[in-house]
A and B are shown apart, each in its own frame.
Chain A
């Protein structure tokens, strides 16, 4: 469980920063750090067992039928990466607290950071490759948010988009590769896949799977030719760059290659693809880095180059090279994070990170100078720092590996190292050395402790690992490399390999050559600027923009706003699908005995048919349409009653009343007639579509009704258990509040949401805007009734109100055993209240009722939910109902059921939702100048005269 918790903690914690920011920036950062720290602590508790060589697993079944399970595993490789992600994450949180300015929304930043952190930890802890893919895509999405954090910068937005396109696209390829791999191995669990090396490498699908998976890894780890997104992602705030490009995002691709190393590596295909990509990336990016004037761009290309180095080592396919790769991952994370943070400090203090405008900061920022120099020398591979150790080991491996000619790989690796030394030296020399200048955009000085603490700690690590590698890092390298290679590893890290070691001479050449290059940097730079070279962003835009244009024009053509055409197409498509099913399926002729046609129902049918046809003919007269709709609704209610559905009949007729009231209220503000504007061919076409669909639906209904059930229905279960389990004899009601109570709970929630939506839309309409202007200038478009609030109606509704309420209560109470229940009672009570509105006006009635409809909806949903929770105290699953009998003298024995409480929730929600909808429409009418009357009706009976309008107000 705790492994899953480590991955989930950052996601849960992501909710906190947004809340804590209200208590200040330090509180926000502290709570974020606490979340990460807790996850790190949980990881540390597992570490001893992993270091002993155990693999810790947590298995949670999710969708076992699909092979998708939330299985987590922690081995040496996972420990190394998870430790890096959380550990450096902690430092980044500290650094960002002081880096971000007051105007940056810090809560958002930490939320995104935690989301990203959770996704990264998920990747490295996943045992199931489908789960891994989910986390993989989550890193693409959350890094998009981080890279584009400064939304106001166009570079930030473009960089974020490019990163998402490239890494997301690679992720899609990887999904395909992983699925192939899972098919070959017969399982999606890594722990199984990793044992299937022979089967996978012998499969015909090995090469496609390899290429697809490598596409995912290369795009994520910015390998050539997908390296171009990384420098553009530098538009992000520096803490993001430091995090994403030292320890996390770009290392995900490396992690994946290391994770899959046991089954994919060792073949010629793997060697040639991975080694070549890594080598080309390493040399090319190192060369570009030398010519970048922007500190972060320099570091970006150096990151690409170092990732190439690690990729190349994994490509060699030997256990020794993989071990070196693990060691360099640790070293790169430490010095690169420190360097990014130092670059951020320089930028923060001097307000520029352009090398041409910097120099001489050594005396102005001594602390930053010390930190950056240690880290940069390590990046250059200068003894005795940790970068030197792993670079030496890399050169040693490269010298022994044959790639083309025997000497070629060694020579190219030396050239790569040479450039690497050169740009590292340049980073130090052109930022800190040289004379102090007087034209910095802002006078620089060292920042406060909070800002340099994190890079200083990392620089300390660089030195400690460099001086005592066997003590500080060898154990972690052994565990991680052991997990990658599947065999125990006992690495020997030494500073001195003797004069016979080729690596020594390669290093000497690299450092010597670098000094020469740096000396000639000015002239080389001029040459570099004069040479034309492909601009990656232009190529990328050249590919993406036509595609975007194509998809925009395609969707614009299909979604041109002609909503009626969409309906026609959808209708015809559904009919076609139905016909396809009918003609390709098998069916037997209908043998069910049919009901004889009775006279009275046939008359009802006739009324319905005439009313429907009349609607089609007279639909331009909107008021008449509503009357006809009322007839149809009435006939359908009667039909329900006839066909043994009393509950439906009651519901339909009460819904009918409120629907018509609602539509009348709306019609008041809509044109009263529909203009005749469609052409005759259009009408013919619409008619044809409508008739086709209608005939198809009629045929389908008839076919269904004339056949018996194909399978035994589950109705018998409900009939048999309604009384014994649910305690009610009205089976429909017992289904609603008991058997399918959870569904009903969902439905009343939807109803409540619909009512709130109507309220919100009304609020929006009543805000200043064209709708509000139109309402304020509203002129009634037809004559008003002479007596707006007739005394007869007002008195009658007043008299009826308590009786109607009583009927509502009665219907509610009997609902469990006889037709009725919460839905119907809610509607009946609503109608009783609406009558008051109609008789005396909205404002008059509103002023006299004290129940807030929002509260009614909330109370209803909460009552239903609480009733469900109540069953937990009974030790039964959510929404299990209970019932019993109580005998209170002098009453008869009566039944109680928790379902009645649930039904009460239904009742409250329905009442609240219906009333809120109607009240919202009435508020629109008020805005349009509907007057508020002080008297309940237009006549003062005590004086026997009609009140004039002024008095009535």
Chain B
């Protein structure tokens, strides 16, 4: 199973970085979301993969998985949402203010694309 999780992390990160290297805001936001998935799963996997041993105390349990990475990732997921929400509004604001949704600020073709 480890190879599946590792390859999923790698693919998510690759796709995320590729989209973040695009030149429009929307793919960058989606790319950041994918990269967040990859990083969250990576941090989670640092606790090693365990099946059927949730960190809920129970007399019948045979053992428990490492609860610490889970606590870290739980807050990370919620914070990622906050961060995504902020960049979404920034992207939207930039588009509405400038009339285009390019990421790079080097382009001299600054003509608005929004219909007035």
Instruction: Name A's B-contacting residues (CB within 8 A).
Output: 560-565, 567-568, 571, 592, 594-598, 601-602, 605, 608-609, 612-613, 615-616, 619, 622, 625-626, 629, 632-633, 636, 639-640, 642-648, 651-652, 655, 658-659, 662-663, 666-667, 669-671, 674-675, 677-678, 686-687, 689-691, 693-695, 697-702, 704-706, 708-709, 713-715, 718-719, 722-723, 729-732, 735-736, 740, 743-744, 747, 750-751, 754-755, 757-758, 761-762, 764-765, 769-771, 773-775, 777, 779, 781, 817-819, 823, 827, 910, 913-914, 917, 920-921, 924
Contacts and interface: CB of A to CB of B under 8 A. Distances in A.
Contacts of A564: 20-23, 103-104
Given A596-B1, A670-B91, 18 more contacts: A560-B106, A564-B22, A568-B21, A615-B30, A625-B27, A646-B54, A651-B74, A693-B14, A694-B12, A697-B10, A708-B48, A732-B70, A743-B75, A747-B78, A761-B89, A774-B114, A910-B78, A924-B92
A643 B50 contact: yes
28 contacts: A568-B21, A571-B17, A598-B1, A622-B26, A625-B26, A642-B51, A643-B44, A645-B54, A666-B91, A689-B21, A694-B11, A697-B38, A698-B7, A700-B42, A701-B9, A702-B2, A704-B46, A705-B45, A715-B47, A719-B57, A732-B67, A751-B79, A755-B85, A758-B89, A765-B96, A770-B96, A771-B97, A823-B78
Contacts of B75: 736, 743-744, 747, 823
Nearest to A678: B23
Contacts of A619: 19, 22, 27, 30
Contacts of A651: 74, 77-78
Interface string B63-94: 01111101101110111111111101111110
A714 B64 CA distance: 13
B93 A701 contact: no
A189 to B, nearest CB: 40
Contacts of B45: 701, 704-705
Nearest to B33: A629
B48 to A, nearest CB: 6
Contacts of A598: 1
A705 B88 CA distance: 34
Q: Which of B10, B52, B98, B113 has the most CB of A within 10 A?
A: B10
A714 B68 contact: yes
Contacts of B42: 697, 700-701
A644 B50 contact: yes
Q: Which 7 A-B pairs have the closest CB atoms?
A: A698-B10, A694-B14, A561-B105, A771-B96, A754-B82, A729-B57, A690-B18
A526 B45 CA distance: 84
A639 B16 CA distance: 19
A647 to B, nearest CB: 6
Contacts of A667: 26
Given A563-B105, A694-B14, A924-B92, A595 B49 contact: yes
Contact of A697 (B9, B25, B77): B9
Given A615-B19, A675-B24, A920-B89, A705 B71 contact: no
Nearest to A697: B13
A568 B14 CA distance: 12
A702 B3 contact: yes
Contacts of A693: 13-14, 17
Contact of A758 (B4, B34, B86, B114): B86
Contacts of B20: 564, 567
B10 A655 contact: no
B69 to A, nearest CB: 9
B58 to A, nearest CB: 7
A755 B78 CA distance: 12
Contacts of A750: 79, 82
Contact of B101 (A597, A670, A774): A670
Most chain B Cβ neighbours within 10 Å, of A629, A662, A687, A731: A731
A666 B88 CA distance: 7
Count chain A CB atoms within 10 A of each CB in B79, B85, B88, B90 and give the residue with the most.
B85
Nearest to A652: B77
Given A667-B26, A732-B74, A754-B86, A644 B53 contact: yes
Nearest to A701: B6
A79 B23 CA distance: 63
Contacts of A704: 45-46
Contacts of B98: 770
A762 B96 contact: no
Contact of B1 (A601, A659, A694, A819): A601
A612 B12 contact: yes
Interface in B96-116: 96-99, 101, 103-106, 113-116
Contacts of B81: 655, 658-659, 914
Given A651-B78, A730-B55, A735-B68, A663 B21 contact: no
Contacts of A770: 96-99
Contacts of A608: 8, 12
Max chain B Cβ within 10 angstroms of own Cβ: one of A561, A597, A705, A709: A705
B67 A735 contact: yes
A603 to B, nearest CB: 11
Contacts of B52: 644
A616 B65 contact: no
Contacts of B83: 754
B17 A736 contact: no
Contacts of A659: 33, 81, 84
A644 B101 CA distance: 41
A666 B97 CA distance: 14
Contacts of B9: 697-698, 701
Nearest to B20: A567
Contact of B19 (A601, A616, A636, A765): A616
Interface centre among B16, B40, B48 (most CB of A within 10 A): B48
Contacts of A565: 104
A709 B81 CA distance: 30
Contacts of B41: 636, 639
**Which of A699, A715, A913 has the most B CB atoms < 10 Å from its CB?**
A715
B10 A694 contact: yes
Contact of A602 (B4, B67, B96, B104): B4
Contact of B15 (A615, A643, A779, A818): A615
Contacts of B88: 662-663, 666, 921
